[in-house]
Amino acid sequence: MNSLNDLILETNFTTYDFFIVIFYLAVTLVVGIYAKNKIKIIDDFIVAGRKIGTGLGIASMAGTEMGLITIMYSAQKGFVGGFAAFHIALIAFFVTLFVGISGFIIYPLRKTNVMTIPEYYEIRYGKNVRILGAIILSIGGILNMGLFLKVGSMFILGILGFSPSGLMLPIIMTTLLVLALIYTILGGMFSVIITDYIQFVLMSFVILFTTYFSIQYLGWQNIWDTVYIEMGEGGFNPFLDGEFGIEYFFWMIITAGLVSCAIWPTAIARALAMEKAEDVKTQYKWSSITFLIRFLIPYFWGICAFVYFNNNIELGNLFFKEVNGEKLNNLYALPIYLSKVIPVGFIGLLTAGMIAAFMSTHDSYLLCWSSVITQDIISPLRKKELSDFNRIKIVRIIIVIIGLYVLYWGLIYNGSEDVWDYMAITGAIYFSGAISVLIGGLYWSKASQKGAILSLLGGMFAIFGLGPVQDAFNISISGTRIGLLTIILSMVLLVLGSLLFPDENSKGTKNEF
Amino acid sequence: MNFNIIELEILLRKMTVLFWISLWKFVFIVSIIIFVLLFIYISVKGFLELKSLLKNEIAVK
């Protein structure tokens, strides 16, 4: 195992690359602070957003959604599923395009002029639904980002060539967390649009040169041949049972498709930030390409890592052969592969882009969940209105608490599912109910408050899809099946609840559009 | 041309794999080309919008 550890330690990352990373992070931070001081109209992130056009809107959406965590979990899927994983990217593309053409959910939602989803719940169903919806949203959302820090740190660890065992992982996790908290507080919500734009440009560049170097190093035909030899038809056909299958395909239409673009709060925030409701459709039509790319390219990198380790017997033993009953976590495959294939200088740019992507995602998510807790739970529950000063103070305290939780969760969680499947299931705690409540609220005038409450509570059953929860209750059903069943349950509960307990004064919004 | 069922099954399986490989190659190449075009377009458009946003808002100040 020692010789294997020596092989991991060999990396193309040099001192030059280290300075590139520091320089890029410093520039981003300075630009962020400059923007914060100059653009006073951005008193509030969402109000500022409503001044942005389609170009910045698409760049901002791509900047947020193309995070390090997305790249890591997607690469993991490519590593284990081969080219068959491409179907998820294709689903994301077609569903986002459909949403863009039809305006499904996003268009009527933008027309209500709400700033957050819980705010819409209050307008449509009442204050109770807003508070309950926000609590469930926070639980699902915070659990969902529980592995972000760990996975991001694994990337840095792998690319710098540190050994996965030992204390380096917690040290990098703590360093990244401190950086993310400083970045969030200093740059804050004021500068998100500008930093997202810079990140979009850098990440696009990174995507293109990393793909080029991968193909050049491994050989185009060799990549396809190796996947065929090692995985057979299963490496290409997503409908074969195994890593994917028909059930998984439908689960992806909901999670990677509809939820990713039209239900998930950080994506919705960009839609609600557009200047005109009509622009939202244009934004989504264009963003369908970035939704395709943000999955497709990391899948390809994961496949390239798979090919690289298959072509290299010594290193391949790390992931394909058990040593002392254990294999190295396949999340390390991408960073270790990149550390050996991407040349000096470029690897610095790549790492800078990835750390910035990590910061940007953390920034958006920390602000999103802390704002939801403050604005939609604490504030409505208080009899006296909170002052702006106190709101900001509470938001900052919650940011630190969530940060500490993410550190703790990353260290203790031992689920065996892929990161993407973990995220789909934890996200389902929120979105299973939200799909029904949002669609019902927007398109069905009979949807009632009690139906919405039942539906939101029903969505919480998705938690049974998590490995450790299944172990605790001694059940064994696939997360995919539990996710799909939970969505059906939430829909049934909304319909039954609304028909059995209709609102006295219907607030249906259907006719408004 | 005498085909038996087993040969047909093998042929069908090969055709299926070939279909998926061709599809994913097509999707990958087209996606990269579209992405390059989008990257250029959005970078320029976003930059102009950002410039105008900064100019306008600072002017308002």
In one-letter notation, the amino acid at residue B49 is E
A350-381 burial: b if 16+ Cβ within 10 Å, else e:
bbbbbbbbbbbbbbbbbbbbbbbbbbbbbbee
Per-residue pLDDT at A47: 40
**Segment A266-295, tens digit of pLDDT:** 778 777 777 777 888 888 888 888 889 889
CB contact under 8 Å between A293 and B21, yes or no, is: no
Lowest mean pLDDT among A12-21, A33-42, A177-186: A33-42
Nearest to A296 among B28, B38, B58 (CB): B28
**What ipTM does the predicted assembly reach?**
0.82
Contact (CB, 8 A) for A194 and B50? yes
Per-residue pLDDT at A407: 87
CB contact under 8 Å between A292 and B60, yes or no, is: no
Q: Of A331 and B19, which is predicted with more confidence?
A: B19
Q: Report yes or no: B32 at the A interface, CB cutoff 8 Å.
A: yes
Per-residue pLDDT at A324: 67
Q: Of A62 and A12, which is predicted with more confidence?
A: A12
CB contact under 8 Å between B42 and A58, yes or no, is: yes
Nearest to B54 among A39, A59, A233 (CB): A39
Q: The domain A2-412 is classified under which CATH number: 3.40.190.10, 3.30.200.20, 1.20.1730.10, 1.10.8.60?
A: 1.20.1730.10
Per-residue pLDDT at A52: 62
Q: Choose, out of B39, B40, B52, the residue to mutate when testing the contact with A (most A CBs < 10 Å).
A: B39
Q: Distance between CA A342 and CA A221 in Å, rounded?
A: 19
Considering only the C-alpha atoms of chain A, give the largest distance between any 2 of them, rounded to a whole number of Å: 73
Local confidence band at B60 (pLDDT 50, 70, 90 cut-offs): very low
CB contact under 8 Å between A55 and B49, yes or no, is: yes
CB contact under 8 Å between A84 and B20, yes or no, is: yes
Per-residue pLDDT at A5: 64
Q: Of A389 and A97, which is predicted with more confidence?
A: A97
Per-residue pLDDT at A151: 87
Inter-CA distances, A361 with A61, A140, A355, Å? 11, 16, 10
Per-residue pLDDT at A511: 38
Q: Report yes or no: B31 at the A interface, CB cutoff 8 Å.
A: yes
Residue A194 has pLDDT above 80, yes or no: no
**Segment A315-373, tens digit of pLDDT:** 887 787 776 667 778 888 999 999 999 998 899 999 988 887 887 778 778 888 888 89
Lowest mean pLDDT among A228-242, A306-320, A396-410, A498-512: A498-512
A40-52 burial: b if 16+ Cβ within 10 Å, else e:
eebeebeebbebb
Q: Choose, out of A233, A249, A287, A299, the residue to mutate when testing the contact with B (most B CBs < 10 Å).
A: A233
Q: Of A322 and A296, which is predicted with more confidence?
A: A296
**Bridge partners of residue A244, in order along the sequence:** A241
How many other C-beta atoms lie within 10 A of the C-beta of residue A256? 24
CA distance B51 to chain A (A): 10
CB contact under 8 Å between B61 and A54, yes or no, is: no
Contact (CB, 8 A) for A87 and A238? yes
Domain locations in chain A? 2-412, 414-513
Local confidence band at A131 (pLDDT 50, 70, 90 cut-offs): very high
